[in-house]
Structure 1
Amino acid sequence: MTASNAHHDGMTPDTDPLSPGTHTYELAGVVQRYHVHGTGPVCVAHSGGPGIFWEYLRMPALEDHLTMVYVEPVGTAEDSRLPSHPHGYTRERYSSFLEALINRLGVPEVHLLGHSHGAFVAAYHALHRPGQLAGVVLYEGAPVTGPEHGAEAARMVEAFVAKHAGHPGLPDVLAAFEAMSGMSSDEDTVAVARGVLPSYFADYWGDEEKFAPFRDAVRATYISGLDENLTPDVVDDRAALKELTVPSLVVVGRHDVICGLRWGLELDDLIPDSRLLVLENSGHMGHIEEPERFADAVRDFVRETAPRGQAA
C-alpha cells in the first residue's frame, strides 16, 4: 500500500494520514507529531537519544522507495512533554504512543525501524505488540543496557582515542563523554550530543566538511532515562529476543562505539531467522556514512517481508 491509496482510519475525510508533510494529533493530553516523506510500503522510523530530535534520521535514499513515517518521539518538543518530564519516558510509554500512531496510519501492517535508543524501543514494540508489524529493523541497538553495555562502550571509546591520538579535536570529544553523566538540561544534552559526534562516525575528521553541517544541526532535549518513580528503565532483552516472531533485520556499523559490532552480532544470534548487515565503513550513523548500502538493504528487507499487496 502506498501513501496515495491509504484508506482513512478515524481521520477526517479530507486528511490522509499518510500525505506528505507534518501531522499532529493529541493523545492523553500530549501532542504527537510525525513526518511523512516518500512513497511505497510504509516504514515507521523511531529516532534515538532518548531526546534527539528526529531530523538527523532523515533517509532520502529510502524515501525513493518507501513511505517513511518519521516519529517525533514524545518529550522532544515542548508541547509533547509528559507531566513527569524529564522522567517517565520508558520503552513501554514510547511503545504505547507508537501503537496509537501506527493505528492512525490505516495500514494493516507496517515496518518499524529504530535507531540507537529507538532500536531498543523497536525491539520492545516487536516483542510486546507484534501484530502491527510486518518486520522490524534494529539499527545500532543492543540486547542490554547497564554496566555490561557501558563497559563495552568504554572499551570502544578507548580504541577510538588510540586511533586518533594527537588529533586536536580529541580533547573536546573526551570532555563531552565526561559531561554525559552530569546532563540535566536541554543545553547540556545538545552540547554532549554534538560533542561526542565525531566518535560516532567511522572517520568524521577525514570528511569533516561533509559531516560538520549534520553535527551542527543536531537538536536535543534532556530526558533522564528514569521512569516516573525515578527508577532506571534498564534493558535486558536476551531471553525475550529468542522468542521474537517478527521478521528482523539487524544493522550495525563496524566502527560504532556506543552500540557496536559485539551487540549487532549478539542481536543477530539471539533473534530467530534474523538478517544481519554490517556496514564496514560506518560508525553509529550508517544512513549518513553509507546511505546507498543502508537503503538497499532496508528496501530489500521491506520488499521481501511486506504483506501481499503492499510490496513496492
Structure 2
Amino acid sequence: MTSNIALSLGTHTISVPHGSSVIDQRYHVAGSGPVCVVHPGGPGIGWDYLRMPDLERCMTMVYVEPVGTGVSGRLADPRGYNLGLYTHFLHAIVEHLDLPEVMVLGHSHGGFVAQRYALDHPDRVASLLLYDTSPVTGAVFWSAAVENMEKYARRHVADHPEVATYVAGLTGETAPSDDEGATEVLRRISPAYFHDYWGHEAAFAAGRQALRMYAAPAWGEGPAFDVREELPALSMPTLVLVGDDDFICGVRWARMIHEAVPGSQLAVLDGTGHLGHIESPVQFAGAVLAFLDAVTVGGS
C-alpha cells in the first residue's frame, strides 16, 4: 500500500468531471492495513465526526469529504445534490485509488450511497459495511423517526427544556439557509442521536462539537430512496451494524437490509444510538474487526 501515492497518509484532492464542469473532491487517509472507503451521513454532514481511530490501527481508512461540504467543491445548482451525484464521486475516488476492489462503509445517508454504489459497481466492492442506515426512506420511515424523536423529547424535556425544539429541528421546520445555522441545529438536536448523552456528557461533548452541517446539500432533488427489491442481488460479504436505540435508522431498518442481502451478518450494538463509533467504540470496532477476520479467513 505504501507505494500507492493515492493512499499516502493525509488529505488528497482529485478533480472529477461532472456534466460540463470539473469539481474538486477531497478525501482523507489514515491508518494502515486493508483499505476501507468511508462515506459520512447527511446529506451535508462534514466527514470529521466519522473518524474511527480504533479501526485506523489495523485498516487504511479513506474518509470521503462529500461535495458540498468542507473544502470539496460546490455545485452551481444545489438541486443536483442527490444520490446519483454522491455515487458518481464515490466511484471517482475508488477509481483513483487504483485498487481492484475496496471495502466500503456507509453511515446513515452514507449507507444509502454505499448500497447504491455496491449495486451499481459490485465488482469494485470487496465487502460492504452498512452502519445505522436503511434500505428505504419515505413517509413510513420519516413518521417513525418523528415519533421516536417525540418520545425522546417527552422523556427529557423536564430536565432539558431545549429538547422541546428537537422535533422542529429534525423535520426542518426551522431549517436555516446557511452553514453556521445548519450546524447549530444539528449540534443542538444531536443528544437524541445517543443512547445516553446526558449521562455521559463529558465523554460525548467533543463528538457533538465535531458535527458540522452544510446547508446546500439539503436542497438536493432526486427520486425517493428504495432499494429493497434490488438488495438480494448483492453477493459481497456484508455487515449490517446498528445501535439498539437508534431513533432514526434503528433495528427495524437494519433487519430489513439483513433479511434482503444473502449471507449478510447483523450486529446490534447494545446501549447505543446512531453514533456507535463514538458512544460504544469497543463494541463497534469489535464487530467490524470480527467481520473483517471472517472475510479474510473465508478468502474474500
Normalized against structure 1, the TM-score is what? 0.88
Could you tell me how far apart the structure 1 residues matched to 2:156 and 2:242 are?
Answer: 22
1:11 aligned residue? none
1:203 aligned residue? 196
Q: Does 1:22 pair with 2:11?
A: yes
Which residue identity lines up with residue 31 of structure 1 in the other structure? D
Could you tell me how far apart the structure 2 residues matched to 1:151 and 1:123 are?
Answer: 22
User: Which deviates the most, 178-187 or 113-122?
Assistant: 178-187
Alignment of 1:216-231 (within 5 A): 216-225=209-218, 227=220, 231=221
C-alpha displacement at 1:237, in angstroms?
Answer: 0.9
| Partners of 1:254 and 1:260 within 8 A in 2 | yes
C-alpha displacement at 1:92, in angstroms?
Answer: 1.5
1:164 aligned residue? 156
2:170 aligned residue? 177
2:281 aligned residue? 291
| Partners of 1:173 and 1:198 within 8 A in 2 | no
C-alpha displacement at 1:307, in angstroms?
Answer: 9.8
Alignment of 1:221-300 (within 5 A): 221-225=214-218, 227=220, 231-300=221-290
| Partners of 1:111 and 1:134 within 8 A in 2 | yes
5+ unaligned residues in a row in structure 2: which ranges?
none
| Partners of 1:251 and 1:276 within 8 A in 2 | yes
| Partners of 2:83 and 2:222 within 8 A in 1 | no
| Partners of 2:33 and 2:60 within 8 A in 1 | yes
| Partners of 2:239 and 2:266 within 8 A in 1 | yes
How many percent identity over aligned positions? Answer: 43
Q: Does 1:301 pair with 2:291?
A: yes
Which residue identity lines up with residue 285 of structure 1 in the other structure? L
Which residue identity lines up with residue 195 of structure 2 in the other structure? A
Q: Deviations over 1:26-52 (max 9, x none)?
A: 112111111111010000000011111
Alignment of 1:52-91 (within 5 A): 52-77=45-70, 80-84=73-77, 86-91=78-83
Normalized against structure 2, the TM-score is what? 0.92
Name which structure has the greater RCO, CA cutoff 8 Å, separation 6+. 1
User: Which deviates the most, 215-224 or 179-188?
Assistant: 179-188
Which residue identity lines up with residue 155 of structure 2 in the other structure? K
Q: Deviations over 1:200-224 (max 9, x none)?
A: 0000000111111221232221134
Q: Secondary structure at the match of 2:104?
A: strand
Which residue identity lines up with residue 275 of structure 1 in the other structure? Q
| Partners of 1:225 and 1:232 within 8 A in 2 | no
How many pairs does the alignment contain?
Answer: 295
TM-align CA RMSD? 2.0
Q: Deviations over 1:260-305 (max 9, x none)?
A: 1111111111111110010111100000011111112112223333
Distance 1:101 1:299, change over 3 A: same
C-alpha displacement at 1:68, in angstroms?
Answer: 0.4
5+ unaligned residues in a row in structure 1: which ranges?
9-15
C-alpha displacement at 1:306, in angstroms?
Answer: 4.9
Q: Secondary structure at the match of 1:22?
A: strand
Distance 1:272 1:50, change over 3 A: same
| Partners of 2:26 and 2:72 within 8 A in 1 | no
Distance 1:198 1:291, change over 3 A: same
Which residue identity lines up with residue 100 of structure 1 in the other structure? A
Which residue identity lines up with residue 88 of structure 1 in the other structure? G
